[in-house]
Structure 1
Amino acid sequence: MTETVHYYNRFAAEFFSSTVAVDMTALHGRFLARLQPGASILDAGCGSGRDAKAFADAGFKVVAFDASPELAQLATQHCGFEIHARRFEDLEEIAQYDGIWCCASLLHIAANAMQEVLERLWNALKPGGTMYVSFKHGTGEREHEGRRFTDADDALIRLWFGRLSGARDVEVWLTDDQRAERVQRWSNALVWKQHAESSRLVTGGADHFLPHLSEAFTWATEVALAVAFVKATGLRLLLPDLQSLLRAGANRRLRILTSDYLDITDPQALRLLLLLQQQGAEVRVYTTQASSFHLKAYIFAKVEKEVTVAGTAFIGSSNISRQALQEGLEWNYRVVYPADPGFMEAARRFDELFADPRTVQLSDAWIEAYEQRRLPPSRAVAPGSHEQEEPPEPTPVQLKALAALEATRQDGFRRGLVVLATGLGKTWLAAFDSAAVGARRVLFVAHREEILTQAASTYLRIRPTARVGYYTGRSRDAEVDVLCASIQTLAKAEHLERFAPQHFDYVVVDEFHHAAASTYRRLLSHFAPSFLLGLTATPDRTDQSDILSLCDDNLVYTCHLFEGVEAGLLVPFHYYGIQDQSVDYREVPWRNGRFDPEQLSNKLATLARARHALREWRGRGQRRTLAFCVSLKHAEFMAEQFSRAGVAAAAVYSGSSLGRAQALDQLESGTLQVLFSVDLFNEGVDLPSIDTVMMLRPTESKVLFLQQLGRGLRRSEGKEYLVVLDFIGNHHSFLQKPQALFDIGSTYKALAEFARRVEQKTLELPEGCYVNYDLAIIDFLKSLDSSGPQKDYQALRDVLGRRPTLTEFFNSGSSITAMRQQAGHWFELVRTMGDLDADEVAIASQCQGLLREVEVTAMTKSYKMVLLEAFLELDGLREPTKLNELNQRSRAVLDRRRKLLADLPADMSGTQGDSAAWARYWRDNPINAWIGGNRQREQSALFKVTGDLFELAQQVPPEMTMPLGSLLQELVDYRLASYEVRLMPASDSNVVPFPTRNRGSVELPYFPNLKIACGHFKVGRTDSEELRSLPPTYGLLDPSRHFIARATGNSMDGGKNPVKDGDHLLLELISPTSAGSITGAVVAIERQDEGGDSQYLLRVVNKKDGHYVLKANNPDYEDLLATDDMRTLARLRAIVDPLDLAVGQTFLREEIPPLFGEEFNPGSWHAGHVPLSEKRAHVLLVTLNKQGKAEEHRYLDHWIDEDRFHWQSQNATAPESKRGREIIEHAARGIAIHLFVRESKLSGGKAARFRYYGRVTYESHQGSAPMSVVFRL
């Protein structure tokens, strides 16, 4: 063999050229006809790679090798994937390939070694697989031009294969050489490997039945099951495989036959079968009528062009119960076709029985009649016949969420959003809650079929007697108790019209992509349920914007992943963010929020990346690993590379040769160490034993990332923590991962700050959790540190994969004021960023005044936006809205958004939407405002009333009403969301439930500079986007006259009371009734510059020689003589201490030092007591609930009452120490003590914010080292 290899190395190029283009189509066809699509093939001795490339191009998974390194290199270049340099004697794989192709390669093996080589190849072939071989026709051994040949004829080939165990159906035929200059004839052979005789009998126990069934589902196109009884416990084990078969396409067929024999079959199991029937299965029941029905047959067939080409039947003792499939000793005999013709007889007999007149099609009516007459045996008559599913019970987290939902309904809310981390049971919560309120009809809406099937199964567990059905492209069952509907189907007008608005008592909306928001809004504007529940696993408010808006901005309950870990419901995690060194993602096209799938797969399936992943896994992975890949090719490639490195690995996906149940069973038992998956384990599958998750692909959404992470967070006996190996590349899509896991903001600045906290090891994590990022990733995140509207917008767009909405921009923490300073208004920024389509650009220009006014119009109450919300819900842009309908819908919007009801006066709170009193009130308020009743010029009105119709004043072409409606809805969503934030307390609601303590404080309008402030009041508005509170020490304040603005420039920076650039100024509007004397006062003055533009100056007004002179405190500025074109707008009341503005607000720890002009230093500011000697201040940072701290560090801090706080010092602080004396004598020493308090270190899974309570004064103390001090606010 060595001389032969030398020959091919010397003449590799010539051999490659002479063989690579030979037409092998006919031989390929005969071989591939025996394999299922996508099967795995080994091309053993592949030569030029001609056949390996043809198989790969046809969609098969190909591994190829050749003994000549030179030829293997040429073949690699030709195929585009690696061809290994290997010899037959190196082959050690066991049952790994569905097909083995040995074309003109075995002919170089010596005759006396042939049988051993064939044994190696045979061992590598799976049972049920096919092998092809070819030899030059003849007999004996010979040498030619330095190469050894072994020729073979029909008899010799049959002799060799006859010695292989399980070789069946050997087919041998002759062909001519396809090269024109050759006259050689070839002996070709195909042989099929039968399943081993020892595997014919499945005995249960250690060899339980379920994995055998799961394996058969992976290749069968038609499945027929006939069992005496079905229990829900067993059927749920088969559901994933049954549903996968039905989803595979129109050429799949599933038939199930069961019976009412002895009334053993569960009604709940029958309802699950009915769900399968709605998905395309054929289900019938044999009515025994006092006869018996003892069948237990499971028949799997592969049918091509109406011909059965392969099959397996299991006939024995197992019904569909958990005991029969997984636990008991049950014998089932396997019949394999084509080896055993008994398979065809079993299939024919099933066909006859399925058509028997004693069988009936399963229906709701039949199940209900069966339920009425059912009398199951009092004692077990067969294994599993008495199995019952335990009634499900809510988890502690679900119980809290249920209580919060009940409370929100008691408060009058009709819509609400619940955020539950993956693994905490969102769908279960929805089912429990709808049952708790006694909802008669429930609608569950989602965008994916897998979510709907999971929901239907869940609802049946909670409501076992309910009729549950689907409304999808395939099934439209409207008359059910629980309807699981595809949004794509139900939202169409012709389908909505089938249902009355009050048809459903309870509607559930699962999280959805932003692009579907308008579709969901249309659906929900049709229905009027008693309650609407929105569900999401994404903790970031930016990502929740769409679904939260649908839920009237009512966030009912949140339990993030960190809280699930702290509560012991999920295991801790050790997270490793690993730089994806071998892939440059910038080279992969990015379109519509995702990478090009094929090019991404090619980039990821490389040897360098596989070796990198293997190194990381060996260093950090545990025993049972689930790895997520981007494609079938990627999964197969990774499994092959890990296997070659001696790791027990396999790829599993929809249609893979290894079934899902088999794979999990092998992983559980330790037979497999790593499972590479594409899409089978994203959601809906319980995998508690997984202890390592490997993220080998980018994820286009936070939801998908959290779902994949959640696969490993389930608790399991002996599992201490989950290892997460996350490969992070140089592309903005990877930024979603830290944002999703650590719930950090969506701006680049927030990401950079997060990186610094990782670097400084100051992340606050649940106990037992650990986080590590490669330094290159930390440096990359820190490099993002920049701010500004365009940067914030770009960061959001990068994360979302689309342009953000204004609500998302607002929720991300970006500055609306800065955005307007830079762009003027929101849609101008969006246009500048290139994110408006042609229709949107046109309508934004045409209706600029309308959009601008809706974005900034004064809102002392919510009414204007409530009216617009109602107007849009009634499709008022397309057709004018009747006033009575608008009044009623507006009242309905207010009733839904309960927080806004506080805007109503007492005499209006109980009025109905159809009452005359309400019509008058609503006409006098928002309707009057929108039609120009509050304006001096009626022609400037944006809407008009004509008769009893309310409509847009401006004419809009019909084809533009949809884009205009979308833009208006976006603005209305933002205005309502931001208005409700104004109504909320300054805290996040659950930081400190003690004194909010702004008694006597007044909220005043706040503006970033004088120009914006004066421009705002100049047009008669008295509201502001931002409000700030000032304490009573600033005197009697009136929000209609007083406001706060930032100083700009240094013209007043001088004298006894300098005004510095950036100072906060308290100003009072000057009006005819409040002018008084302005001589000697500091006044804001408007004047025209040389270009005719308005300037706003701050100056001291003096009187000299009978004329007013405007004087700057900074001597570098000249005095100005007052002229008639100048106008006084406001007088300066005080320069505001920034800390007074901060009282009542909340801050992250790292946001507190800048309040005192300090930089954040973790060494100092992570202590609870920070003295600032130069500032003559002490800062107390108090966490009331210090769970997780050592006992000696749990200080006794608490509120005594609304005015007093009990604080305990650190253990080293005594009254006589420097710190102790400065606390006790702080007033005399001129030292200010500032109190910041939070309830616990984590809130919503991330670092909790401290609320600032302002300066406190010492009242008393006792004890020493530590001291107990009482402070008064």
Structure 2
Amino acid sequence: MVTLEAWLEADALQEGLGVPELAQRSHAIMARSPELLRDLEGVTDFPDVHAPDMRRFTAYWRINPIAAWTSGPGKRFFALEGDRFVSRIPCPPGGEKALSSMVRELVDYRLAMYRARQTENVAGVSFSAKVLRNTQGNPILKLPTQKGRGEIPRDETSVRLPDGTLWLFRFMKEYCIVARPVGSHKNELPDLLRRWFGIAAGEAATNFRVRFFRSPGGSLWVEPDEPQAEALRGHLVAFPTLRAAAGSRRDPIALAPEGEQVRLPTKARGEGWFAVRATGDSMHGGKEPIRDGDWLVMRFARSASREAIEGKIALVEVPDSHLGAAYLIKRLVQEDKRWILRAENPAHASIHATAGAVPIATLVEVVKPESLGPEVGAIIEDPKLAASFGLSEPPRTGRIDGHLFLLLEEKGRLLAPDRIRFPGIEPRPGETAFVLTRTGGSEPWRYAGVARFLEDDGSWACTGIDFHTFRVLGEGREASRTLPRSIEERARRLVEDLLRKKGAGAIVEREGKRFRIVGPAKRGGLRIDGGPGGFEERTVSITDIGWVVSALSEVNEEPRLLQEELVHRLRYLEGTPKGSTRYIDTGWALLLVKEAFAAKD
């Protein structure tokens, strides 16, 4: 493996590499790694393994690893051509980069496994490293002082991340500034630290740390130091409705009857701060759209004048003839010397701010629920659940630290591939829920993402359920998510427009296919056939057409960019086999939608 690493470092895939240079590069690699260099100890030709006679070392290297790669019975991946070590791996033109990457991954993995075996007898070693910034502004790791170093590795060492993936960390005298996944050339340590601690990772005012520790089998692991990761989140008073927030006391520490504590990753601290959920989509627009369910971190501004908060998004009390007062989140602006409560979503009308409109608080920060958990699909062991969501205790079904969790592990909860029913949970306005699934009692949890409550049918919508989970916990063989009603209506209008423009009996030729529009289907959709002498009549359902329409938003409403793979990714659960999809009708639906847009033009 050292020989191949030297060969890769020299970028010698096509031209090969002379044996003297190959041996020299191989020794340099071993010299950087004490556990590899240790293999040379005891070889009589090298009394000083750090500075051997390179002529003797080249001879030793030729009769050892080079001979093993190039001679002996059977087909060989490498050969010697004169004094050059060359590849015999079949590689089609243009595939050199891919082949090099694949060999690199194998070499990294084998060397990492070898290094791990060398340390199997080292027990219980652990140390903490502080996150700092280098001169380029990137986060790096400051290793402990000599007194606290213990058994800290040297040079490149295999380390496992909390999700089990294998990385290579390069430990220097005082710092670790390079780390990369096995098989990657790129230094991804800055990205890893920002993923764990956010954009503030390494800033002077922070004290983020990571912990390295060995498992009982000797493998080295790394994780965010839990006390510091927990410090990312602070407690704020949260109110279940805008009315409760507007009617609360000024002091958020002395909770109003309807207030509670919520843990959020925000710097907001002290008097006058609180959090509330956004409801509706009136502010879903502009440069920083606010979605239904987003956390809004706000600060009371009852004594502020309109001029002081002009242009800001605010919680405003407005007179209401039925309720006495209503509470809105809007941007307060002046237009033609009139005060306006402006919606960011152009589909919603702005409101004239009468003299009775009173600003209550201003928006400081928006926290997306999706940002508070791991990636959808993450596999989480029970001991890691609390840390994965920044909680003070492991989640269970119900509210923990102001956040709602739904834990699925038995049949009966999944009504459809993306619909969950929990009769005992009363959702609050705009409230979202984190969904965790488990298909066996001893298995780890799988994070399925954020769910939103649907008033119409009393269920929670969650798009992150995978195919395997639905097969175990759901009912039936359906693998398609539920088409939103608004998209279905848009698909019906599109079909009506197509029939009006083209008419029944129209022959369509598009993308190498020819078909005839027979007419509308009973339950929506279109009936088509191959025309005279062509294929028999078939129905392309309104659902098939609707999922193609749904994919339009992913391609900026440009039908020419629509693809079957995109439609299936939106429609079907992760892991759904092709045999469980309507891939034939999806193809016809794509052609119909494209033809409808062409007819419209």
Higher-Rg member (1/2): 1
Q: Same fold (TM over 0.5)?
A: no
Question: Which structure is richer in relative contact order (CA contacts within 8 A, separation 6 or more)?
Answer: 2
- The TM-score normalised by the length of structure 1 is 0.15
| Higher helix fraction (1 or 2) | 1
